[in-house]
Amino acid sequence: MEFLEEIRRRRTFGIISHPDAGKTTLTEKLLLYGGAIQEAGAVKSNKIKKGATSDFMEIERQRGISVATSVLAFNYQNIKINILDTPGHKDFAEDTFRTLTAVDSVIVVIDVAKGVEEQTEKLVDVCRMRKIPIIVFINKLDREGKDAFDLLDELEKKLGLRLSPLSFPIGMGYNFKGIYNIWKKNVNLFESSNKQKKTDAFNYLTLENHNLIKVVGKSMLDDLKESLELVQGVYPKFKQKDYLEGDLQPVFFGSALNNFGVQELLDCFIEIAPSPQPKIADNRLIHPEEKDFSGFVFKIHANMDPNHRDRLAFIKIVSGEFKRNTPYYHVRLKKNIKFSSPNAFFAEKKKIIDISYPGDIVGLHDTGNFIIGDTLTSGEQIQYKGIPRFSPEHFRFINNDDPMKAKQLNKGINQLMDEGVAQLFTLNLNGRKVIGTVGILQFEVIKYRLKHEYGAKCTFENLNVYKACWISVSNQESINYKEFLKVKKKFLAKDKIGQLIYLADSPFSLQMAEQKYPEIDFHFTSEF
């Protein structure tokens, strides 16, 4: 019974948004209200010395953006919460897409002034495709922005969501007074005097409270009552079953920076959000309640502590118990591995744990045994699906800028590629190394990290490539395939695990290759 109780009390979720919507700030405030930290940091502020807890890489602190998913865990009202704070910037979207395979639900953060933005649409599409339960948090209500109902309409039209507001703002922008909590049917008015520390709310159990009328004003309360009637008439009533099936999305309003609405979001989240869910493997559905352990690697991060040059593989536990010093079967390598110091996370802070349960994220010290997508089990031969690598958008040769540091450069490139920061292709013709990325900013991150974490310098050289296509063919002895290998010799490369890649230099070249070599399949993701 203790095992089942541990599963039921876990909530593992991701926070996603377009850059600058306030995702990392919301993460900080959830930690603050959850009692995990006493003072919240800010992602961008010259006045606040303390940085955001989840932005632990030096480049993140300098740029004021998240470039890697960070994992944070804390207990709140006897619920074990695992947060995965993801990068919002489109150049690091692949890390976010991979992270979505490890969560059971998500919170989507929307900027009240900007509404639905491009990156939000892409991420929500992935969530809807995978039927991941979504909660929407409309942020920055203390700033001038769009009307609440206009925003709700935009969310429905652009994201294809079916919304059910569970809180509603009292005023907006300069007139913002607080929120009415539809879920608990009470009013909370807040002070914004201390943005870094938790403040107590003024709580009114009824809209007819005389003190509330004095503080807010009769006209604003009348507007609120009208809005609540409209919400009740237009939007479906919240049903947890619909939310868990991905067919209904609750909405909360607030301002993470000023502590508005975060407590309401957290209190509702632990009640309605799903505990660990079953996951599809290649041959069956795995349930968390199963006794045998299984899990998969969704992220690898080198040098979380630059002083120790440590490399950690993040594993999501899907079923059974994961125990320290117990041998587990590495499906791809077909061998047993024992882990003496598995870690639980609080951003960059780690502690060794003896036992973990489904829903938990565990960090395993890695000496090169893992790649993203690897499966660990108690012995069963299964492989979890759904962690693809996408064809990059940008390609550049990488050159060594310091011949004395060739070894450091090679080590750095290999470790960063294992993390999934970018993809490495080696040309068959001359062995030159090509880096492929989803966004231009990733080249800057690679250059920075190679220099500061490995002491290696590199330069990049442009390469005219339109798409990298993974190649598969049923008959490698066919004349058609052999002709392709001969004609396209200078455009062929191998990825890091030895799969054949065709680097098409234009859409026309790719189209002609598909027509001329019908026996060959060209794939834009590596999972086929």
Domain of 363, CATH number, reads 2.40.30.10
d(CA 136, CA 158): 14
Tokens of 406: 């060739």
Domain boundary among 237, 272, 307: 272
Least confident residue range of 342-351, 438-447, 453-462, 511-520: 342-351
**Does residue 278 lie within any of the structural domains?**
no
**pTM for the predicted model, two decimal places:** 0.78
Same domain, 239 and 129: yes
How many alpha carbons lie under 13 Å from residue 45 in its C-beta half-sphere? Answer: 14
The DSSP letter of residue 77 is T
280 found inside a domain: no
Q: Which residue has the higher pLDDT, 283 or 153?
A: 153
Question: For 173, left (φ over 0), alpha (ψ -120 to 50), or beta?
Answer: left
16 and 44 part of one domain: yes
Alpha helices in 217-335 (DSSP H): 218-234, 240-244, 262-272
Q: 528 in a domain, yes or no?
A: no
Last residue of one domain, picked from the residues 246, 272, 298: 272
In a domain? residue 279:
no
85 found inside a domain:
yes
Q: Is the same domain home to 124 and 50? A: yes
Q: How many domains are contained in the chain?
A: 3
How large a percentage of the chain has pLDDT more than 90?
A: 49
Distance CA 420, CA 92 (A): 10
**pLDDT of 211 over the 80 cut:** no
pLDDT tens-digit series, residues 337-395? 999 999 887 645 678 899 999 999 998 988 878 888 899 999 999 998 766 677 888 99
Mark whether 141 and 28 lie in a shared domain: yes
476: CATH: 3.30.70.3280
Task: Kindly state whether residues 172 and 27 are assigned to the same domain.
Answer: yes
Q: Give yes or no: residues 370 and 409 share one domain.
A: no
Domain boundary among 348, 377, 406: 377
pLDDT at residue 55 in the model:
46
Question: Which pLDDT belongs to residue 209?
Answer: 67
Do 102 and 84 form a contact (C-beta atoms < 8 A)?
A: yes
Reported in sequence order, the residue ranges of 166-288 that DSSP labels E, i.e. its strands, are 167-170, 178-181, 186-189, 202-204, 249-253, 279-280, 285-286
Same domain assignment for residues 267 and 299? no
**pLDDT at res. 206:** 63
Contacts 24+ apart (CB under 8 A), 176-179: 176/141, 176/142, 176/255, 176/260, 177/215, 177/216, 177/220, 178/202, 178/260, 179/253, 179/254, 179/260, 179/261, 179/264
Q: Where are the alpha helices (DSSP H) in 79-179?
A: 93-99, 118-129, 148-159
Identify the domain containing residue 208 by its residue range: 2-272
Closest CA to 365 of 328, 323, 310: 310
Closest to 484 in 3D by CA, of 466, 464, 509: 509
User: Has residue 277 been placed in a domain?
Assistant: no
- Report yes or no: 507 and 515 within 8 Å, Cβ to Cβ: no
Q: Give residue 111's pLDDT.
A: 93
Residue 142 within any structural domain of the chain: yes
Tokens, residue 509 = 């070249």
456 and 406 part of one domain: yes
Q: Quick one: pLDDT band at residue 39, thresholds 50, 70, 90?
A: low
Strand 10-16 versus strand 79-85 pairing type: parallel
Residue 411 lies in a domain: yes
